[in-house]
Amino acid sequence: MHSYIPSSNPSHFNLTGQSIFDWAKSHYRDHTFNKDEPIPTRPGLLYFVEQGAIRIVGFTQTNETLPKQSSHSDLSLCEAVFLGFVGAGLPFEIVSQFPISLKAIAHVEATSVIWLYWQDLEHWPDLKQEVFNSFRYQHQRKLLWLSMLGQKRTIDRLLGFLTLLIEEYGQPSDKGYYLPYTLTHAQIASAIGTTRVTVTRLMGRLRQEGLVSLDDDHLIYLP
């Protein structure tokens, strides 16, 4: 039973020995990306992050048949929503369904990614099981994420969002757990349905109250 229970921390999901990465390289199915470079993806392929991390973002094309309520709304056409990270050793896939598109973007410098067909996984049955475990775990996390977004007050969503990210990706330090990836206030705002200005203001408040702290590299800590 144990092997089917997703861990509360996906660092346990560092799925892959070196062999899958060696195999992918010998089949020319690897590429290294610069920070913020989009990763070309195709439906039906499975990807693994070898090193670095990607972020997944979503874009929705606004329905043009609905009348605009203000000129401001033109800005919201195809705005990116931050949907989470995928770190080293973990799988991802990118599906889209009109009018929603998902994209994978290298979140840190020198992020390397490999890809394979799903049927290639038949060569690695244990890995295949772990891939499915990882998606099962991701599904659970997204249900928690959606619950967190249901909170009425923006400051509750902000603290809930940071807590979920740090539970999932956090690294320990002597100052508490921290998120090893930078996030802009605009990226945070996109995820919790508010504006960059509000995130900046509320991050100040959370820091004043000692619920969040930042280090010199702007990484976010939960004490």
Interface contacts to its own copies, rule CB under 8 A = 1, 4-5, 8, 43-44, 56, 58-60, 62-63, 65-66, 69, 72-73, 76, 79-81, 83, 93, 95, 97, 99-100, 102, 117-119, 132-133, 135-136, 138-140, 142-153, 155-156, 159-160, 167, 190-191, 193, 209, 211
Residue nearer to its own copies on the CB measure, 18 or 69 = 69
Nearer to its own copies, 114 or 148 (CB): 148
Neighbours of 24 (CB within 10 A): 22
Output 26 or 119, the one with its CB closest to its own copies: 119
3-state secondary structure 134-198: HHHHHHHHHHHHHHHHCCCCHHHHHHHHHHHHHHHHCEEECCEEECCCCCCHHHHHHHHCCCHHH
Q: At what angle do helices 185-192 and 154-169 cross, to 10 degrees?
A: 110
Shortest distance (Å) from residue 156 CB to its own copies: 6
Q: Are residues 214 and 222 in contact, defined by beta-carbon separation less than 8 angstroms?
A: no
CB 56 within 8 A of CB 47: no
Contact status, residue 57 vs residue 86, Cβ threshold 8 Å: no
Provide, rounded to whole angstroms, the least separation between the CB of residue 97 and its own copies: 6
CB closer to its own copies, 125 vs 172: 125
Nearer to its own copies, 72 or 218 (CB): 72
- Cβ atoms of 6 and 136 within 8 Å: the answer is yes
Q: Please, what is the minimum distance in Å from the beta carbon of residue 20 to its own copies?
A: 17
Shortest distance (Å) from residue 168 CB to its own copies: 10
Shortest reach from residue 26's CB to its own copies, in Å: 21
When the beta carbons of 112 and 133 are compared against its own copies, the nearer one is: 133
What CA–CA distance (Å, rounded) separates 132 from 164? 21
Phi, psi at 165, each rounded to 5°: -65, -40
> Cβ 164 to its own copies, closest distance in Å?
8
